[in-house]
Structures are given as C-alpha cells and as structure tokens.
Chains A and B, each alone.
Chain A
C-alpha cells in the first residue's frame, strides 16, 4: 500500500499536466461536432494525446477506418518500445493479468516516471497511473462542457506544462551522463529535420517522433553501449 501511495504522489504533476492537455482536447472535440460524452469516452478508453487529436480529425470523415488504424499504429508504435523497456524493470509479482491491465496506462509520462525506478512494483505503477488517468478524463469533460471559458493567455501558458515535465525528466540524466547528452542532441537534430525539411515534414508527427527516437537510441547503443549495471 505504501508503494501505491508513493506512486500516487509521483503522479500528481502528470495529472496536472494532463488536465491542461485534455482540456484542450475536450474543447477541440466539441468544436469538431462530437458530443461531450463522446469526447470523454475517447479519453477514458484511449488515454493518449497525439493519437486522440489525430483520431478526432479522422472521425470528421465518414468510413475512414483503415486510415484510423494506420494513423494510430504509426503514432503509437513508440508505446511498444516503452512497454518492452519497462518489461525489463518490473519486479517478479508484476506479471500476467497485471501487465494486461496496467499496460493500458502506458503513456509517455507514466512510462518516463516509472522508468526512473530501479524495480517497478505493480502497486507503484497502479498508484502512478491513477491521478493522470482521472486528470485526463476530468480535463476532457471540463473542456467539452465549458469550452473556451479560460482566458487564452492562461491556456497558452498551460500548453507548456507537459514539455516542462519532459525537461524535468531528461535534463537530470543529461547532467550525470555525457552519453545521454549526445543521444539527446541526435534526437533534436533528427526531430528538427523532420519538422523543417520539405519532404520529411510530410511524415505524421507521431511516426516521425518514433523514427527520430529509434534512430537516436540506436546510434547511442552503437556508439556508447551501456555497462551491465547501468541498463
């Protein structure tokens, strides 16, 4: 139970960050013509940012089921790598049904925090997922119902919350390991190429993130293989 509450505490910033992002999702879903309950259902059953935003864009067009599937697979393929990565860090009780249930909550941020643990307990992971999950659902509901009630300046500022969290996860590790700095530099260069170079920028953002991350991590693994006790 202690681990559950420790996870709960670690989940507070993620939940706060999710409130603002899912709030935006709720507003956008309703502006696309979805009902509030549809927006909330999407958030509670999917729990992903980029995939949901792309998903409601596709829903605007009738019958594009294949497009929906392909977009989700490409945007979300990064989750597979996170799942593989975290499967190596779980303790002996975190297996079977627990993995099928808790794997549902493998978001970028939950993964990022969980991966800072030496050994991930299932109760810790469940605690960690709790507040982000309800934050995601609640933000969507409020956004869908209240729409543009928040001033634009506040919304703009909240837009940085998720990225602030990412920085808080990556930078401390960069401070300790020069190799992580170099992998981060690779990822920045690739990501900028996929944003600004004409043909590359056609690639959907979810897929290009996966490509950039995989390429940077492969280069890191080739150039700076980690020692046994580090990985």
Chain B
C-alpha cells in the first residue's frame, strides 16, 4: 500500500467516524420531550455496554475460565460500589492469577 492509498483510507476511516459522532451531537439542540425516546435514550448506554461485554469478554483472554473469574470479581466489586479503576485492575489481576495456575 503506497502512502497516497493509505491517506485515502485514513480519510474515509477517520472522516466517517468523526461525522457519525459529531453531526447528531452538534445539530440536536432541542430537548427531546417524547417519553418513549427519552426512555430509549436512558436505556441505550447500558444496552450498548452489555452487548459489547457479553459474550465478547469470554474471548478477551487466553482462557474462558480466567475471563469468567475476572467477570465475577468485576461484578462483585461493582456491586460494592468500587470505582472504575479498582474494578478494572482487580479483574485483570484475577485473570493473571487464574492463568498462572491454569495455563
């Protein structure tokens, strides 16, 4: 791939990603009053994050068992109201420990 072709690809990649984010953000100025739409927008972050996490989390590490252990630790700490950093680091540490035993 020469540099010119790379730059065309880069323009499409970054341009489309930017516009799909910014156009709705910049152009929607009014408050939405519709109760259905408001409800949809309330649920969408949780639905997106869940769909991204399950089942993908089980394929994110070298072993499904270590990933499951990490998930359990994450859910447990999240239930206790721990911060994002604590939850993420503890989940990674759990994966590391389990894989030291397993793999």
Residues of A within 8 A of B (CB): 12-14, 16-17, 33-34, 38, 41-42, 45-48, 51-52, 55, 58-60, 62-63, 65, 68-69, 72-73, 76-88, 95-96, 99-100, 102-104, 106, 108, 111-113, 115, 152-154, 156-175, 179-180, 183-184, 186-188, 190-192, 195-196, 205, 208-210, 212-214, 216-218, 220-222, 224-226, 228, 230-231
A95 with B49: CB separation less than 8 A: no
- Of A104, A175, A186, the contact of B79 (CB 8 Å cutoff): A175
Residues of B within 8 A of A (CB): 1, 5-6, 8-10, 12-14, 16-18, 20-26, 28-29, 31-32, 35-57, 60-63, 66-67, 70-71, 74-75, 77-79, 81-85, 87-93, 95-96, 99-100, 103
CB contacts between A and B, total, < 8 Å: 304
A-B contact pairs, 30 of them (CB 8 A): A12-B85, A34-B6, A42-B14, A46-B18, A59-B9, A62-B1, A72-B20, A73-B16, A76-B16, A79-B20, A84-B25, A87-B24, A88-B31, A96-B26, A103-B21, A103-B25, A106-B22, A111-B45, A160-B57, A161-B89, A162-B60, A164-B74, A164-B88, A166-B50, A167-B87, A168-B88, A172-B78, A180-B46, A191-B50, A217-B44
Closest residue on chain A to residue B8 by CB atoms = A65
User: Nearest Cβ in chain B — how far from A200, in angstroms?
Assistant: 13
A217 to B43, CA, bound (A): 5
Q: Which residues of B contact A100 (CB under 8 A)?
A: 22, 26
B91 with A112: CB separation less than 8 A: no
Closest residue on chain A to residue B50 by CB atoms = A187
